[in-house]
Structure 1
Amino acid sequence: MSSQDEIIHIALKEHEDSDVDFVSYAQKIKAQLADPSSASAPLSLVSFHCLLQDTGYPLEVYLPGGIEASEIVDWAKLKERWVGWGVEIPGEQVWAKKQADLAENIDGLSLDTTELPASVYDDNAYRPASTHEFIGILSSSPLPSNESEDADLVPTIHVLSKTDIPLPAESETDDGDTRAKLIDYLATAFEPLDRIAAEYLLLSLLSSPTSRPVALPPLGTLAINFKRESNTATSALHSVVASVTPRVVPLALTLPLLHGQRFSPASADSSSLDAGLLQLGEGTVLIVDEDGMGSGGQLNEKALGNLKVLSDCVNEQRIKYDYPYMDGLKMDCAVRVIVLSQGKTLLPVDVHLPIRENGTKQATPSSLSPFRVYLARLSSSAHAARLVIPEEIGQLIQDDFVQRRKDGASDPEETLKRRMKIARLLALSHSHATLTKEVWERTVELDEEVAKRHTLP
């Protein structure tokens, strides 16, 4: 990574119609740090929380800060920098848009030297659909293109630093109490109130692919199909989920959407990548509404391809990227999928749950902050890594499976796979992250409740 002062020199030199010298700019930055509200004009210091939509541009050659284009250039001194295309994170909620502390993240900036070493900005690789908080100098530059003479000027950030959003600290309150209150709150997403559906919804919001065995579906996911009798049964679901989860994207499936939109990112000529509807940031909750499909209809090749991409997102947690000469390229994703329908979905979800009245209305919480902190902390990969399945519990689960086979239960293997998914997430919904006997017994209760609902008229 180049020094921050070096990058500022480059940004000043490359900014169109800029005659700002380094000393004047240093004074401007110091003034901005004292008054962050001034960060909007060109050459301001800004933070950008974004999703990297296209990371495939060629490295860009640039002149280091101390070399002017008018001088006789020693070509051996030219350097390369990485260029990417960032967009606002799809589905990010207003309450979750936290700006980085600019002063804290440029603590290595001296702003008092003009003798600078030359090196690349950043030697790290980035992948598409990754999310980052970048801090840098706002400028403009030509959009990377094969036709450089006709390239449009676009907003550009010369990145000084990258910061990660820290996870919430360990809660000082009882997680069990927060969990119970959160389930009560999530139950309001359903009409009539349904605490069983709310508990499954909680598990889905905590899910994430924690391991990806070769040739097998990932571990740690749980896709839910909520079967409703009418649209009103889940009319509040999006707003309730969005109030406690930072990224929520609705996807109303219709025939025109399947035929007219592209679900996969695609590159026509390898020079750039066009976005797809399913190019989403890690942890995004995707709420798929199938009611717009009606009684169905004829699907063309594009529509079938879109459905296949969506199915792969649910089952494999991978998204197809269409590049010329690269058939079948898929990249990992981490999307929490919830499907709403009045019939059984055709998507490969883990649980099909009819909504039934199950619970009474509770008092509206005075603050949603404890729920947001709870979900952020207990849905993290760091928390998932703490999962413990004691040996005696493993034996209990094995004995239960053997007994079910002896009793001639229907499809015991699939039942075991589903219950293990539920049990893992139930364990992770508690701070101890341990699969106990009580957790396994609750798993069986939840699974049997789903089976019972399917037998009710």
Structure 2
Amino acid sequence: MVQDMHNPEFYFEQYEVFNTSTNETKIKSGKFRDTSDILENEKVNYTENLTSGQRQTVVVVSMPGLSDWAQDIEHKQNHLKHLEEQPNTSKRLQNAAKLKRSYDETEDENGEAMEVVDEAACVNKEPRTKENMNSAANVVSREHLLNFPLPDVASKSCIVKIYEDTDNLKVNDMIEVIGFLSVDPTLSGEFQPEKNALIEPEVESEAETITHNPPPSLVPRLHAVYVKKLEHCNPLITEAIDQDTVLKEANSAREHLLKALTELLLGDRLAAEYLICHLIACVYLRQDTIALGQFCLNLSNLPTQKYPNYAKQLYDIIKQFVTKSYYLPLTIDNMNTMTLLPKKDYECNRLTSGVLQLSKGTHLVLDETKMEQGRLDNTGVHNVAALGHLIKNQKVEYDFKYYKMEFESDISVLVLSEGKSLLPSDYHVPLKPEESSLEIFDAIVEAATYYLKEDIMNIIRVYLTNLKLVKYTISEDLQFVEEDFIEMRSKADSSNPVTADDLHRLLVLARLVSLSRGRDTLLKDCWDDTKRMEAERLQRVKNRVQSTF
């Protein structure tokens, strides 16, 4: 995922070198490399045949929230077996042993000479240690350099240098890159030559230099030959989707998923149907300030008294279906201490990541059952407001200190709570567990895990991603929708009004009900199912009682 974009970098695309030994001149290229290819007896001719160019520098991180199953498949698909071959390893070990022996022998023969070398090395290192007790390496931490959005999630970071047109590339885009790897240790900001302040005034602070030039062992460089923007990152789908095939196979995948989720939601089929709609939802169109297609679901009345970790157990199953997800317990401590919004760091001239800097299609599960008594400080209040803003508008406000800038997002938010959530939601479904299921929940989780074998799991994983990519069309002749809405309006009263928002909510749900059943347009049977689901849901919300579970 593109985490940040730095200023363009200037380099010598082509330059001429003069060999002082042979008096020959050569044209060399500076493209796809960080350091110039100049031999000891060569000099650069700065007056002729010098072409400068610029390349875009982009900071990328491993896909935030990428599921373990997706990572495992990626590793299997991209693993280079020849790197494991024994001869290479043993050859390297033998060479290392030889080197060690020759070093030992030299030391025995001429201990005095070795001492001189060591002393010289110490002399070179000493001034830096004395001058900079707070040396460059200590100016910024490892975590600062890696700058990952999600805390406590193992990730990698890389600086990609792009030579082609990058106008359509944005922060948070998912990309696939092929290029030349560059890990020359001299690229690290720690080893930048000290400048004479009179000749070259300082334009960057030490912290900024190291932030933009981290050690390549920690943050490698990649000179891109090919960059491709991705619509999704599900490794099970490697080709463009065939819509007819996807729709044909949708129903059987839905049956597997509905069966598993109904069991996990303690026999509540309605909640399982809404959860399926939530899992396949995505923003398909933006109109003015409205993000069409977003579907924030609040499942309440969770049996936390009997099963305190029910929300986490439910998430542990959901994350095995979806490609990217993150579980965030809404504790007072988390809200008061976590950085949710990305922030511009002017001292280091970079975007410091936050938890809500996620790529499109990520599932964010907010566990409100972990909220305890306490006081939200200023940070906590801002974090709760940021979550509400994301849910309502599918936008995240990045903090640029002097102003806020909104970045569009497409993050599916699922809120799990005991009572109705404090956060806004598009669809609130109070859970209606069966008594029999409540008694044997642990056995249900075990049975679901046994039922969801790898082949069934993969069918569900492909189904959930494909349905976000399917093109859905709505015909203009929807007589049955028009008639039903007129009837609903005629039956409405002041205590139970029917507005245009209700019709919009029904149409969004109907779209997802149709897609989940393998239909790419709205038909009467799906519309009737949608009306049934909404009527049952609204009845539950109306008759909601205090949880006794």
- Specify the TM-score bucket, using the shorter chain as the normaliser: 0.7 to 0.9
Q: 1:431: how far off?
A: 2.7
Q: Is the 8 A contact 2:268 2:432 kept in 1?
A: yes
In structure 1, stretches of 5+ residues that fail to align are 1-50, 104-118
Q: Is the 8 A contact 2:299 2:431 kept in 1?
A: yes
Q: Is the 8 A contact 1:390 1:435 kept in 2?
A: no
Q: Aligned pair in 2 of structure 1 residues 146, 183: CA closer, same or farther (>3 Å)?
A: farther
Provide the rounded CA distance (Å) in 2 between the counterparts of 1:269 and 1:142. Answer: 21
Q: Aligned pair in 2 of structure 1 residues 320, 120: CA closer, same or farther (>3 Å)?
A: closer
Q: Show the counterpart of 1:321.
A: 398
Q: Aligned pair in 2 of structure 1 residues 241, 324: CA closer, same or farther (>3 Å)?
A: same
Provide the rounded CA distance (Å) in 2 between the counterparts of 1:229 and 1:404. Answer: 36
Q: Show the counterpart of 2:489.
A: 402
- In the alignment, structure 1 residue 218 sits paired with structure 2 residue 260: no
Q: 1:404: how far off?
A: 3.5
Q: Is the 8 A contact 2:343 2:354 kept in 1?
A: yes
Q: 1:174: how far off?
A: 3.7
- In the alignment, structure 1 residue 332 sits paired with structure 2 residue 429: no
SS in 1 for 2:181: strand
What whole-Å deviation, never above 9, does each CA across 1:16-39 have from its counterpart, x for those lacking one? xxxxxxxxxxxxxxxxxxxxxxxx
Q: 1:370: how far off?
A: 1.2
Q: 1:393: how far off?
A: 3.6
Q: Show the counterpart of 1:71.
A: 44
Q: 1:267: how far off?
A: 0.8
Q: Aligned pair in 2 of structure 1 residues 371, 167: CA closer, same or farther (>3 Å)?
A: farther
Q: Show the counterpart of 2:164.
A: 122
Q: 1:139: how far off?
A: 1.7
SS in 1 for 2:351: coil
Q: Is the 8 A contact 1:388 1:433 kept in 2?
A: no
Q: Show the counterpart of 2:345.
A: 268
Q: 1:138: how far off?
A: 2.0
SS in 1 for 2:404: coil
Q: Aligned pair in 2 of structure 1 residues 149, 341: CA closer, same or farther (>3 Å)?
A: closer
Q: Aligned pair in 2 of structure 1 residues 308, 427: CA closer, same or farther (>3 Å)?
A: same
Q: 1:417: how far off?
A: 3.3
Q: Is the 8 A contact 2:162 2:224 kept in 1?
A: no
**1:298-447 equivalences in 2 (<5 Å):** 298-325=375-402, 327-357=403-433, 364-366=451-453, 367=455, 368-380=457-469, 383-388=470-475, 390-405=477-492, 407=493, 410-413=496-499, 414-447=501-534
Q: Aligned pair in 2 of structure 1 residues 71, 247: CA closer, same or farther (>3 Å)?
A: same
Q: Aligned pair in 2 of structure 1 residues 146, 189: CA closer, same or farther (>3 Å)?
A: farther
Q: Aligned pair in 2 of structure 1 residues 199, 168: CA closer, same or farther (>3 Å)?
A: same
SS in 1 for 2:525: helix
Q: Is the 8 A contact 1:134 1:162 kept in 2?
A: yes
- In the alignment, structure 1 residue 290 sits paired with structure 2 residue 368: yes
SS in 2 for 1:135: strand
Provide the rounded CA distance (Å) in 1 between the counterparts of 2:475 and 2:313. Answer: 35
- In the alignment, structure 1 residue 60 sits paired with structure 2 residue 9: yes
Provide the rounded CA distance (Å) in 2 between the counterparts of 1:254 and 1:120. Answer: 41
Q: 1:73: how far off?
A: 3.0
Structure 1 window deviating more from structure 2 (353-362 vs 149-158): it is 353-362
AA in 2 matched with 1:208: C
Provide the rounded CA distance (Å) in 2 between the counterparts of 1:77 and 1:341. Answer: 62
Provide the rounded CA distance (Å) in 1 between the counterparts of 2:334 and 2:377. Answer: 12
Q: 1:299: how far off?
A: 2.3
- In the alignment, structure 1 residue 238 sits paired with structure 2 residue 315: yes
Provide the rounded CA distance (Å) in 1 between the counterparts of 2:67 and 2:162. Answer: 34
Provide the rounded CA distance (Å) in 2 between the counterparts of 1:238 and 1:272. Answer: 33
Q: Aligned pair in 2 of structure 1 residues 372, 167: CA closer, same or farther (>3 Å)?
A: farther
Count of aligned residue pairs for this structure pair: 384
Q: 1:127: how far off?
A: 1.3
Provide the rounded CA distance (Å) in 1 between the counterparts of 2:172 and 2:491. Answer: 43
What whole-Å deviation, never above 9, does each CA across 1:4-58 have from its counterpart, x for those lacking one? xxxxxxxxxxxxxxxxxxxxxxxxxxxxxxxxxxxxxxxxxxxxxxx11112x10
Provide the rounded CA distance (Å) in 2 between the counterparts of 1:149 and 1:439. Answer: 59
Provide the rounded CA distance (Å) in 2 between the counterparts of 1:78 and 1:404. Answer: 73
Provide the rounded CA distance (Å) in 2 between the counterparts of 1:71 and 1:86. Answer: 33
Q: 1:395: how far off?
A: 1.9
Q: Is the 8 A contact 2:188 2:214 kept in 1?
A: yes
Q: Aligned pair in 2 of structure 1 residues 205, 73: CA closer, same or farther (>3 Å)?
A: farther
What whole-Å deviation, never above 9, does each CA across 1:155-213 have from its counterpart, x for those lacking one? 111112124464544537542222122111222432x2322111111111111111111
Provide the rounded CA distance (Å) in 1 between the counterparts of 2:271 and 2:354. Answer: 31
AA in 1 matched with 2:498: P
Q: Aligned pair in 2 of structure 1 residues 149, 276: CA closer, same or farther (>3 Å)?
A: closer
Q: Aligned pair in 2 of structure 1 residues 328, 393: CA closer, same or farther (>3 Å)?
A: farther
- RMSD of aligned residue pairs (Cα, Å): 2.9
Q: Show the counterpart of 2:259.
A: 184
Q: Show the counterpart of 1:82.
A: 56
Provide the rounded CA distance (Å) in 2 between the counterparts of 1:287 and 1:410. Answer: 31
AA in 2 matched with 1:223: C
Q: Show the counterpart of 1:200.
A: 274
Q: Is the 8 A contact 1:387 1:428 kept in 2?
A: no
SS in 1 for 2:57: coil
Provide the rounded CA distance (Å) in 2 between the counterparts of 1:200 and 1:74. Answer: 69
SS in 2 for 1:84: strand
Q: Aligned pair in 2 of structure 1 residues 225, 304: CA closer, same or farther (>3 Å)?
A: same
- In the alignment, structure 1 residue 281 sits paired with structure 2 residue 359: yes
Structure 1 window deviating more from structure 2 (127-136 vs 91-100): it is 91-100
Q: 1:397: how far off?
A: 4.1
1:451 to 538, 541, 545: 538
Q: Aligned pair in 2 of structure 1 residues 284, 120: CA closer, same or farther (>3 Å)?
A: closer
TM-score (ref. length: structure 2): 0.64
Q: Aligned pair in 2 of structure 1 residues 253, 214: CA closer, same or farther (>3 Å)?
A: same
SS in 2 for 1:379: helix
- In the alignment, structure 1 residue 209 sits paired with structure 2 residue 296: no
Q: 1:352: how far off?
A: 1.5
Provide the rounded CA distance (Å) in 2 between the counterparts of 1:202 and 1:168. Answer: 20
Q: Aligned pair in 2 of structure 1 residues 101, 386: CA closer, same or farther (>3 Å)?
A: farther
In structure 2, stretches of 5+ residues that fail to align are 15-27, 31-35, 37-42, 81-160, 193-203, 231-237, 438-443
Q: 1:101: how far off?
A: 6.8
AA in 1 matched with 2:61: V
Provide the rounded CA distance (Å) in 2 between the counterparts of 1:428 and 1:390. Answer: 19
Q: 1:385: how far off?
A: 4.3
What whole-Å deviation, never above 9, does each CA across 1:52-100 have from its counterpart, x for those lacking one? 1112x10011122624754123596111111111111111013223367
Provide the rounded CA distance (Å) in 2 between the counterparts of 1:160 and 1:278. Answer: 30
Bigger helix fraction: 2
Provide the rounded CA distance (Å) in 1 between the counterparts of 2:535 and 2:53. Answer: 63
What whole-Å deviation, never above 9, does each CA across 1:282-324 have from its counterpart, x for those lacking one? 10000001122223x3322222111111111111000111114
AA in 2 matched with 1:246: T
